[in-house]
Amino acid sequence: MKKKILIIFGTRPEAIKMAPLVKDFQHYTDHFESKVCVTAQHREMLDQVLEFFNIKPDFDLDLMKPNQNLSNLTADIIIQLKSILEIFEPDYVFVHGDTTTTMAASIASYYSGAKVCHIEAGLRTQNKWSPFPEEINRQVTGRIADYHFAPTKASKNNLLKENIEESTIVVTGNTVIDALLQSIEKVKVNPSPTVKILSEKLNDKEVVLVTGHRRENHGEGFERICKALKDLALLKPNILIVYPVHLNPKVQEPVNRILQEVPNVILVEPLAYQDFIWLMNRSKIILTDSGGVQEEAPSLGKPVLVMRDTTERPEAVEAGTVILVGTNENLIVSETIDLLENEQRYNAMCMLHNPYGDGKATKRIIEYILTL
């Protein structure tokens, strides 16, 4: 009898990291009946990824609302998933990482009696306010999950410290590397119109790519980040700083106010996944507060400065593929300039091994599920 699989996600990062799993399950139709449910916690950015990977959801909750808050979103996900779980009756529900969708879907699945499978399990900062609300989302999902697919040995060890049964933990690498390696060649062969326009704008300039959206940086943190970027642009007029600006008004306001008139800063709308991959590959250095970028960039040989005070991905810091700079203006500027000017240090950082995997994470996940 086929095992029934329901894969649930709601944001662009989840969609990117779950896409390889969705596609790989489709090769095992003799063993599994798999369906996809999206909450559309992020609508437009999610749809771009679905289109790129050619994924058509079987269920779409379409929950995104203007000025949505965490309380309403959590309640809506749990309530609306109830009927889908009752109709499909999955044996296994797959959730990913640390979003509100992940936490709420794990609760709803637990209530329904389905086994919960957590992809990218075991990441921890042990600070419930940083990142907020992601750290608690992870911990709640980790308590509920029946099976834990940890990207690294360090993540597995975090779970063991929480008394998770070792036989339920599998170290797989991160599925984001699967997605990246499958996509990068596709992007090179068939560049989008956006890539062609960006390529002309960037010409042969050295590019510093910036992404930033984390809640814990809203307010003073973003003010400091933007001031650092302005200082960096003025100190290094020959570089181009390219910043795809998140749609959140709390990000848009300080970014536009401080950086809009700086000549060598290019502010663009959020990019489709394939365009962002191209831009990462084209960049010299990446400044980010994103978790996914910390994992992806080392596979492209790109040094990363992480603009957060804590990271749940210490493996990258230990491996030397990322540097934690927080929202300290002086540190952001000094570390970026040093990497731009210190060729030996830059090259050494580019050549370090990516601790997050080899692009075979989904294969390991499915092989494990086949044994259950």
**How do the domains of the chain map onto residue ranges?**
3-174+358-370, 185-350
Q: Which pLDDT does position 316 carry in this prediction?
A: 87
- Any catalytic annotation for residue 135? no
Options 120, 289, 315, 335, the catalytic residue: 120
Q: Which CATH superfamily is domain 3-174+358-370 in?
A: Glycogen Phosphorylase B; (3.40.50.2000)
- Average pLDDT (330-349) is 96
Q: Are 48 and 272 in contact (CB under 8 A)?
A: yes
DSSP letter, residue 167: G
Tell me which residue of 123, 116, 79 sits closest to 94, measured CA to CA.
Answer: 116
Report d(CA 277, CA 187) in Å as an integer.
8
Q: Any catalytic annotation for residue 315?
A: no
246 is catalytic: yes
Task: Look up 98 and say whether it is catalytic.
Answer: yes
Mean pLDDT over the full length of the chain: 93
Residue 213 catalytic?
yes
Residue 220: per-residue pLDDT: 87
In degrees and rounded to multiples of 5, residue 138 shows phi and psi of: -65, -45
Q: Is pLDDT above 80 for 214? A: no
User: Which candidate in 14, 76, 134, 329 is catalytic?
Assistant: 134
Q: What number is the average pLDDT over the span 281-304?
A: 91
Catalytic residue among 98, 289, 315, 335: 98
pLDDT recorded at residue 157 = 97
Task: Tell me the CA end-to-end span of the chain in Å, nearest whole number.
Answer: 13
Instruction: Please give the pLDDT value at position 346.
Output: 95
Quick one: average pLDDT of 358-363? 94
pLDDT at 18 over 90: yes
Asked whether the predicted pLDDT for residue 217 surpasses 80, the reply is no
Residue 127 has pLDDT above 90, yes or no: yes
pLDDT digits (tens, 9 = 90+) for 302-330: 999 999 888 888 888 898 999 999 999 99
pLDDT tens-place string over residues 142-196: 999 999 999 999 999 999 999 999 999 999 999 999 999 989 888 888 888 988 8
Q: What is the pLDDT averaged over residues 252-261?
A: 92
| CATH H superfamily, domain 185-350 | Glycogen Phosphorylase B; (3.40.50.2000)
Adjacent-strand bridge partners of 43: none
Specify the pTM. Answer: 0.84
Catalytic member of 138, 148, 215, 308: 215
Burial of 364 per CB tally in 10 Å (0-12, 13-18, 19+): middle
Active-site residue, selected from the candidate residues 148, 213, 218, 224:
213
Catalytic site residue 335?
A: no
The residue annotated as part of the active site, out of 246, 308, 309, 312, is 246
Same topology, domains 3-174+358-370 and 185-350? Answer is yes
